[in-house]
Amino acid sequence: MRSMLLVPMLALTLLVTGCADYRDAVRAEQCLAAAQQALAARQPAEAQALAIKASRLRPDSPVVQGRVGAMLAAMGLEREALRHFDRALGGRGRLPAAVLAAAIDTYLVVGRERQAAAALLSAVRRYPRDALVLNELGYACADRGALLPQAEQVLAQAVSLAPDNGAILDSLGWAMVKQGKLQPGRALLVRADALMPNNYEIVYHLATVSLLLGDHRQAKRLAGRALALEPEYEPARTLLRSLR
């Protein structure tokens, strides 16, 4: 027979534990918000300390661990970010797409391609019908020039879901160009440019593929157009200098 005294004691214990978890969740969220503000104010040491504090408040939360990892990676602290990404991807829960993309990118930066591939596969399983998420994840690989066949497959899936999205067409075209599939890649980039004519990154991609196809005049014109759209875009500056 259960003790009648034990029942209210258990209820009280659960209530206190729940309150403690809630308080920690609120405090962790406050730390992450303050860390973001410190990062915007160019106070990386303060931002890092606050992010670590948030991770200690919610060590078993995949979302918190993933957000901390993404923040550390954005500060250039890829090695420190890894253990947080490992925790996030090892737990249960639906991680934000930005966290997954940051994790994949960080794994690639440090040469952990197998983990990046596993993270990409896991992300595709979690977001199979979300074209924008698939685009972000595939482009994280394509822009690094890594996991290109997998990236192309993910991005082709995204295009099938949103065939008139210029950003996604650009991502798939860029992944194909990176694999040497220049003509089909260029055709996708041309379509993307028609849909988003003021996007300097798409124009830069077109300039790059024009150069690879041997059309230096077109490459120079497109690089100049990309810079006219965004004068501080360094890849276009570098390309234009090389052509001069």
d(CA 230, CA 240): 13
**Nearest in space to 170 (alpha carbons), one of 194, 149, 150, 145:** 194
pLDDT at 101: 87
Would you say the C-alpha torsion 145, 147, 153, 159 has a positive or negative sign?
negative
According to the model, what pLDDT value does residue 12 have? 35
Domains of the chain, by residue range, sit at: 20-126
> Are residues 222 and 244 in contact, defined by beta-carbon separation less than 8 angstroms?
no
Q: Measured between alpha carbons, how far apart are the two ends of the chain, in Å?
A: 89
Q: Do 204 and 236 contact (CB within 8 A), yes or no?
A: yes
Q: Which backbone phi and psi does 128 adopt, to 5 degrees?
A: -65, -20
Fold exhibited by the domain 20-126: 1.25.40
Walk along the chain (244 residues) and give the pLDDT tens digit of each residue. 443 333 343 333 333 445 557 888 899 999 999 999 998 999 999 999 999 999 999 998 999 999 999 999 999 999 999 999 999 988 777 788 888 889 999 999 999 999 999 889 888 888 899 999 999 999 989 988 999 999 999 999 999 999 999 999 999 999 999 999 999 999 999 999 999 999 999 999 999 999 999 999 999 999 999 999 999 999 999 999 998 7
pLDDT for 20 equals 58
User: What pLDDT is recorded for position 90?
Assistant: 85
Amino acid at 206: L
- Residue 234: CB atoms within 10 A of its CB come to 9
Q: Please answer whether residues 50 and 35 qualify as being in contact, where contact means their C-beta atoms are separated by less than 8 angstroms.
A: yes
* The pair of three-digit structure tokens given for residue 217, joined into one six-digit string: 């005049």
Dihedral angle sign, alpha carbons of residues 48, 33, 233, 197: positive
Let me know: does 56 contact 48? Beta carbons within 8 Å: no
